[in-house]
Amino acid sequence: MQECKGMGFSTKAVHAGEIRYNEYGSITTPIVQTSTFIFKNIAEIQQLAEGKAGRFEYGRYGHPTQLAAEGKLAAIEGAEDAVLFSSGMSAITTSMFALLKAGDHIIITDDAYKRTLDFSKTCLDRFDIECTVVKMCDYEAIERAIKPNTRIFFSESPTNPYLNIMDLERLMKIFKGRDILVISDSTFATPYNQRPLEYGVHIVIHSCTKYLGGHNDLLSGVVLSKKELTDPIREYLKITGGVIDPHSSYLLIRGLKTFELRIKRHNANGQKIAEYLEKHPKVERVYYPGLPSHPHYDVAKSQMAGFGGVVTFKVRDDVEYVLKFLSRLKFVNIGPSLGGVESLITHPASVSYYSVPRQERIALGITDGLIRLAVGVENARDIINDIDQALRFA
Ligand SMILES: Cc1ncc(COP(=O)(O)O)c(C=O)c1O
């Protein structure tokens, strides 16, 4: 397996994890589409039982296409090991279950991905695992929330939809010398824009469904860390079964090969569009960490190489106006998700938060006029023109 140690980001993204001369001589890694692996004889089975054979046994325990994708992800994140899952949520839930036990306590920040919060607040509780939700970036509150049985601190950066940025240096000072695992969901940042492991964060998680896959055509999640932490998570995955399938593994490998090119375009497009929207007469407020008006601009600038493609903005608090605006868009598609080549736009109040009562939703900052744009890799001028014509005539 190629490691590409000391090589550049894109060299790793293109080559790492793959076998240079595989048995077919194909330049691409084969999609080993199988559920099980066969043995030539009993000696081979015995070798496997004794842990001597570097071979595969059964699809749920791992397969060659997954292994290649994991090697690539570990190389670009600078992690000792990577474990792939069938989705980002599978990566998060399997890791928590693998690392926690009854009687433990976790701390999570309040603007984490809604489903991660739902899991932490409601599912873990049923297993006698206590959860404290703290305000994102309230470092005093984070420290105050620590208890003798705290086992995990979980947060994201940037967060959805306001793109709050955790100051990783400050955060890790709080957890220095404590027996608490700090997990960072770095989906919105990607390994190109932010490097949490270099700040001492113990585990990084990404939904590969977003920028890493990059083409809105697969679901996957990854956990990156030292082997002493990924080993128990990988063992637990063998039980919970949320394994990535061979075809998605291949799509992920293919997407990763162009990842640096794509993320640079997302960064450039995000910046241009955020700057444009900030001056737009119909836009009340823009949230983008690359704008000096963002509350965490200074931290973002010192900690990130780029700010990604998600731009959140507010128009007037009028659901009818927002829905009319969305329906007038010509090629920017209405839909959840982010990080793909196609631009997507969503109205959190009527999509991800539709089931939350209005008052509660507004208290969470999900106002009627809030819009999240996930900029793709199209030409920035065309995205701007599409949004402009829809905003002006709605
Ligand atoms: C920050 C973040 N983490 C995790 C997830 C879950 O990932 P998946 O949809 O791949 O399960 C999402 C999904 O939107 C997300 O935005």
Q: Indicate whether residue 95 lines ligand 1 (CB < 6 A).
A: no
Distances (CA, A) of 266 to 89, 116, 130, 362: 24, 25, 38, 29
Q: For 226-299, where are the E strands, in sequence order?
A: 285-287
Distance 219 CA to ligand 1 centre (A): 9
pLDDT value for 49: 87
Phi-psi region of 51 (alpha: psi -120 to 50; beta: other; left: phi over 0): left
Q: How far is CA 97 from CA 108, 208, 319, 362, 393, in A?
A: 15, 20, 39, 32, 50
Handedness of CA 142, 199, 157, 272 (dihedral sign): positive
pLDDT score recorded for residue 394:
72
What pLDDT is stored for residue 303 in this prediction? 98
Listed in order, the ranges of the chain carrying CATH 3.90.1150.10 are 259-393
Q: Which residues, at least 6 apart from 234, have a Cβ–Cβ distance to it below 8 Å?
A: 62, 83
Per-10-residue mean pLDDT, the chain, length 394: 93 97 96 96 90 88 97 98 98 98 98 95 96 98 98 98 98 98 98 98 98 98 98 98 98 98 98 98 98 98 98 96 96 97 96 87 92 98 98 85
Locate tokens 């208290």: which residue?
363
The pLDDT assigned to 52 comes to 79
Q: What CATH number belongs to 259-393?
A: 3.90.1150.10
pLDDT for the residue numbered 21: 95
Contacts of 383 (CB under 8 A, 6+ apart): 269, 273, 332, 343, 375, 376
- Taking CA atoms only, the protein residue closest to ligand 1 atom 10 is 88
CA-based end-to-end distance of the chain: 54
160 lines ligand 1 (CB under 6 A): yes
Question: What confidence score (pLDDT) does residue 207 get?
Answer: 98
Q: CA 348, CA 358: separation in Å to the nearest integer?
A: 12
Residue 112: CB within 6 Å of ligand 1? no
**pLDDT tens across 28-83, in order?**
999 999 999 999 999 999 988 888 778 899 999 999 999 999 999 999 999 999 99
Which CATH architecture describes the domain 9-257?
3-Layer(aba) Sandwich (3.40)
Query: DSSP class of residue 16?
Result: T
What pLDDT is attached to residue 1?
86
Where do the DSSP E strands lie in 143-250?
A: 150-156, 181-185, 203-207, 221-225
